Chains A and B, each alone.
Chain A
Amino acid sequence: MIEVKKLVKRFGLKVILRGLDFHVEPGEFVALLGPNGAGKTTFLRILSSLSRPSMGEVQVAGYKLPHEAAQVRARLGVVSHLPLLYPDLTAEENLRFYARMYGIEDQEQRLTEVLEMVGLEHRRKDLVGAFSRGMQQRLAIGRAVLHDPEVMLFDEPYTGLDQDASEMLDEVLRSVAAKGRTVVMTSHDLARAEDLATRFDILSRGVIATSATRDDLKTTNLLAFYKQSLES
């Protein structure tokens, strides 16, 4: 579903990604872990066609980036630590706007389905500016799944959420993954990543340093694996 070969990304003289190789099978939930500045966000921005690779090959859902970006974007849902929502519009108006941008035909039915999925049906007429951070993040996930994407990218979705909001987000993320979608998530919350993901890739110094599946971690835990990967 996602195929990345020898990806290099430079900002001026600074090299962020140094020949990164990455591969995700359909239906996999990959947690992309790494210290601050490792290049996780840059990598997700390239996968989501928001940034151009300096060198290398990137293919998402069978389409090459950056040349077939529009096809990739139609099959992609992105959630970042910012909600990508308009505070002066209601939850319903925000989703209706994005539904129009994605060319969804039966908008009202889809809006109701998505609002029910993220548990905000009763707040559909409320302004997003009046929502708590947790509610905004749930609505952001609703926005990202509105067009039923095959691939979902989550960039630090737990940033700024309290314990209750994080647990609620866990449920929404599980339901998103349960539909067979391919998910790539960056996070610093190792416990949550361990709970949700089926594979764990450690990004360090611009390359995937190590990778392990859930089965590989039976004799150890993610924290130990993470520390060991960074030390080596």
Chain B
Amino acid sequence: MKRSSPSLLKATLAIVQKDLAAEFRSRELISAMLVFSLLVILIFNFALELDIKVRQSVTAGVLWTTFAFAGTLGLNRSMSVEKDRGCIDGLLLAPVDRSAIYFGKAISNLAFMLIVEAIVLPVYSMLYNVNLFRLDLLGVILLGSIGYTAVGTLLSAMAVQTRTRDVLLPILLFPIAVPVLLASVKASNGLLAGAEFAEVLTPLNILIVYDIVFIAVAFMVFDFVVEE
């Protein structure tokens, strides 16, 4: 039997494909995230008497609140699937760089979050009569989602080892994700209000730096996080 040492890229792709195949069959994670997101948007729609000006000013806040909480549901579930049947041990026993596990899970989590966002955005646009299909805004949503899942995947790997993982993840995640959420809301707000690109450059730069820093930190510490 011929064997070769699997590269970081191959192992990462194997994990992503496995996660997507399992999720498209069970639809547990995406359904939960989607139902939660749509409910939040509907509740805000009924709760706030909104005129056009107010709608534009609250859009970024409502969207990112929805994405952040729905994202936490997804992050928790994604790691629980690995822990509950011991599959995390199966991954850790493979002779691959353990960063591949982090990148694989982070890319899967990002894919799930983007799928939910792709469904939530048109629904939000219809309910609130706000055009969200702008390339610059979609770019901000992508950068924000990358940062959120980058740090969320690392923290969910820590939280899943504990009995109180469902409670612990948001407690750990939200304080650390404050910069990415604030920068995302600020940049989204600016773009929706028709601000010049230069005016949203600062939050955009924060988002890019945050993404790079947390991906690098996770790459360096993931091995220690998952080891007993």
Residues of A within 8 A of B (CB): 45, 48-52, 70-71, 73-74, 76, 78, 80, 82-89, 93, 97-98, 100-106, 110, 127, 143, 147-148
Task: Please judge, given known A-B contacts A52-B227, A97-B14, A101-B11, whether A85 and B95 are in contact too, CB under 8 Å.
Answer: no
In the bound complex, CA of A70 to CA of B139 (Å): 38
Assess whether B3 is interfacial by the CB under 8 Å rule: yes
Q: How many residues of B contact A (CB 8 A)?
A: 31
Task: Please judge, given known A-B contacts A97-B18, A101-B11, whether A84 and B90 are in contact too, CB under 8 Å.
Answer: yes
Inter-subunit contact B86/A84 (CB<8 Å): yes
Assess whether B192 is interfacial by the CB under 8 Å rule: no
* Inter-chain contacts of B4 with A (CB < 8 A): 103, 105
Inter-subunit contact B87/A74 (CB<8 Å): no
In the bound complex, CA of A97 to CA of B86 (Å): 15
* Inter-chain contacts of A147 with B (CB < 8 A): 1, 3
Query: Closest CB-CB distance, A93 to chain B, in whole Å?
Result: 6
Inter-subunit contact A88/B26 (CB<8 Å): yes
Residues facing A in B82-103 (CB within 8 A) are 85-87, 89-97
In the bound complex, CA of A147 to CA of B96 (Å): 13
Assess whether B2 is interfacial by the CB under 8 Å rule: yes
Inter-subunit contact A52/B3 (CB<8 Å): no
Inter-subunit contact B227/A148 (CB<8 Å): no
Inter-subunit contact A73/B3 (CB<8 Å): no
* Inter-chain contacts of A70 with B (CB < 8 A): 95-97
Task: Enumerate 5 A-B pairs (CB-CB under 8 Å) in ascending A order.
Answer: A70-B96, A78-B89, A84-B85, A102-B95, A127-B25
In the bound complex, CA of A45 to CA of B93 (Å): 10
Inter-subunit contact B2/A100 (CB<8 Å): no
Closest to A74 in B: B95
In the bound complex, CA of A210 to CA of B120 (Å): 64
Select which of A45, A98, A103 is within 8 A of B90 by beta carbon. A98
Select which of A50, A84, A105, A148 is within 8 A of B87 by beta carbon. A84
Inter-subunit contact A52/B90 (CB<8 Å): no
* Inter-chain contacts of A104 with B (CB < 8 A): 1-3
* Total contacts A-B at CB 8 Å: 99
Inter-subunit contact B87/A86 (CB<8 Å): yes
Task: Please judge, given known A-B contacts A73-B93, A80-B86, whether A102 and B22 are in contact too, CB under 8 Å.
Answer: no
In the bound complex, CA of A89 to CA of B92 (Å): 19
Task: Please judge, given known A-B contacts A52-B227, A103-B4, A104-B1, whether A98 and B86 are in contact too, CB under 8 Å.
Answer: no
In the bound complex, CA of A45 to CA of B227 (Å): 11
Inter-subunit contact B1/A89 (CB<8 Å): no
In the bound complex, CA of A49 to CA of B94 (Å): 10
Select which of B14, B18, B25, B95 is within 8 A of A71 by beta carbon. B95
Task: Please judge, given known A-B contacts A84-B85, A106-B1, whether A51 and B228 are in contact too, CB under 8 Å.
Answer: yes
* Inter-chain contacts of B92 with A (CB < 8 A): 49-50
Assess whether B21 is interfacial by the CB under 8 Å rule: yes
Task: Please judge, given known A-B contacts A84-B85, A84-B89, whether A100 and B21 are in contact too, CB under 8 Å.
Answer: no
Closest to B104 in A: A101
* Inter-chain contacts of B164 with A (CB < 8 A): none
Supplied contacts A84-B87, A89-B21, 11 more A-B pairs, CB within 8 Å: A50-B228, A52-B227, A70-B97, A82-B86, A86-B81, A86-B87, A88-B22, A102-B6, A105-B3, A106-B1, A147-B1
In the bound complex, CA of A143 to CA of B2 (Å): 17
In the bound complex, CA of A127 to CA of B91 (Å): 20
* Inter-chain contacts of A89 with B (CB < 8 A): 18, 21-22, 25
Most buried by B among A51, A89, A103, A148: A103
